[in-house]
A and B are shown apart, each in its own frame.
Chain A
Amino acid sequence: MARNDYITEPRWMRVLLTVVALTFLVLLVVLPIAIIFFEALRKGLDVYLASVVEPDAWAAIKLTLLVAGIAVPLNLLFGVVASWAIAKFEFRGKAFLTTLIDLPFAVSPVISGLIYILLFGAHSALGGWLIDRDVQIVFAVPGIVLATIFVTFPFVARELIPLMQEQGTEEEEAALLLGAGGLTTFLRVTLPNIKWALLYGVLLCNARAMGEFGAVSVVSGHIRGLTNTIPLHVEILYNEYNFAAAFAVASILTVLALVTLVLKTAIELRFSGPRPIRH
């Protein structure tokens, strides 16, 4: 049946709804992207490049890469291991465990940072003991890594768990009964089945790890050149009214966000249709 045979709204209504929807999206999403690049390049390309290669900005970029480089692989490992345990076996409390894994998404970023201050801050027993031994967790890089792991904790697991549950265990059982070892079974049978979901989870995990602001801001201590990630560096520049530099550095993160969106859409097209949305 042709599409037009269906009952639909009158033409003026369709045009009106489309215009309203697109205006909403342009005002909230398109113009913010545009203004970042506009403000970043407003004082010319020299100022832009100078703001991006300046030592403090470089330090922030390197720290962000380091933090994501630790947090993302750890959460990837956790995601694969947890979804193996949850999807391939039956045990009591499974639904509850799955809810607990999602917990970090329900917590405000500010609170995600605060909990590590309470645990490792100088006034706490553990924090005091560690500081006596010259181990600084919060207001230093380890705290930033921990807070980032916390906020990106569920990304990989929540993509893999429903998919692996749906796929069941028959293929793995076949491989094992034909004599394959556990690791071989995982690498040759399970991994090819979950690779796109895995990539999808890693992509979103990485975008959040590099862009996290609230949680990292609480535990960072804001030491320029030492404990500033790119988003924190943007904040400092902005608060110093150095808008051109703030937007220049912000544009790096915007490009990251846009690349993430493109890759995400590409993966979704390989899958059938959009992934279920949760956060």
Chain B
Amino acid sequence: MSMARLLPFVRSRYSVIPGFGITLGFTLAYLGLIVLIPLAGLVLKTAEMSLPEFWRTVTDGRVMAAYRISFGLSLLAALINAVFGLILAWVLVRYRFPLKKLVDALVDLPFAMPTAVSGIALAALYSTNGWIGQYLAPLGLKVSFTPLGILVALVFIGLPFVVRTTEPVLADLDREIEEAAASLGASRWQTFWRVILPHVLPSLLTGFAMAFARALGEYGSVIFIAGNMPYVSEIVPLVIIIKLEQYDYAGATAIALVMLVASFLMLFVINWLQKWSRARREG
């Protein structure tokens, strides 16, 4: 019960707490100046282009190749993270092994590590004479400076999302449901597919979508390992940078707008998925 309701002389519609006007005013002003006005500038700048001109810029062959690489590899990286992230979350929640706290903390490293540092470390690790690359090279697998390198960087950057979204759901999972499934004759495998997976699916999809969205915009950890060959291993954020370096501001802005729309769509999808998983967990 709120204090306002206890005291009849305080009108319940009006809070006794001070500072509404000034804090909301400051919030809106700061948000507007730092985020909204600069982002609106991007849309306005694109509006200076004619529609055919805009279309030509954003569907140019090299840009289309970059979309295929960015979207395709981000999707693949998010899929890999969905599989291994779920395994990692399962192992962290269900099994006991030494140094578990340390392992759990390390999952967040891709968030804490500056992207450029991750980029040069991965490039060194997976180059043909690197610690890992030297064993892959004889198998005909070149990782650094190929699209495969981009994939490795994107898997790295998306690693924490699926683990962190599925971990609490797996921890909350009622073990009696699994026992019920088993006592009704389900194999462990059937229990996983029919009972556990449907239960974690909303949070798994949330983590997957977050990893995908993050991978789409990622720049720092990718460019060092990518090789950056036009049509082969060039991601969209790099194309924007290259256009900027050529003083083609209109071109850079048009492609940025396409990516911005994609990001906002993903934000919408993620919000919707989060609502779904919250409803599932509470319901």
Contact = CB atoms under 8 A, between A and B. Distances in A.
Contacts of B91: 17-18, 21-22
Looking at chain B's contact residues, is the secondary structure mostly helix, strand, loop, or mixed? Answer: helix
Interface of B: 2-4, 7, 15-20, 23-24, 26-28, 30-31, 34-39, 41-42, 45, 84, 87-88, 90-92, 94-95, 97, 101, 103, 105-118, 120-122, 124-125, 130-132, 152, 155-156, 159-161, 164-165, 167-168, 175, 178-179, 182, 188, 191, 210, 213-214, 216-220, 224, 237, 240-241, 244, 249, 252-253, 256, 259-260, 263-264, 266-267, 271
Contacts of B259: 108, 111
A234 B117 contact: yes
A25 B118 CA distance: 14
A9 B249 CA distance: 57
B220 A253 contact: no
A194 interface: no
18 contacts: A7-B182, A14-B95, A33-B121, A35-B131, A39-B124, A81-B23, A89-B17, A108-B216, A108-B259, A114-B253, A121-B249, A169-B17, A207-B112, A234-B120, A261-B109, A276-B168, A277-B164, A277-B165
Given A100-B35, A103-B39, A89 B24 contact: yes
Given A20-B87, A211-B114, 20 more contacts: A7-B191, A17-B90, A32-B113, A32-B156, A33-B121, A82-B30, A97-B27, A101-B31, A106-B266, A108-B259, A111-B260, A114-B240, A118-B38, A176-B17, A176-B18, A182-B18, A182-B19, A238-B120, A253-B113, A264-B108
Interface of A: 6-10, 13-14, 17-18, 20-22, 24-25, 27-33, 35-36, 39, 78, 81-82, 84-86, 88-89, 91, 97, 99-104, 106-111, 114-119, 121, 123, 146, 149-150, 153, 168-170, 172-174, 176-177, 182, 204, 207, 210-214, 217-218, 230-232, 234-235, 238, 243, 246-247, 250, 253-254, 257-258, 260-262, 264-265, 273-274, 276-279
A245 to B, nearest CB: 12
Contact of B167 (A230, A261, A264, A274): A274
A231 B27 contact: no
Contacts of B2: 168-170, 173
A261 B249 contact: no
A119 B41 contact: yes
Contacts of A99: 267, 271
Given A35-B124, A177-B7, A118 B31 contact: no
B275 to A, nearest CB: 11
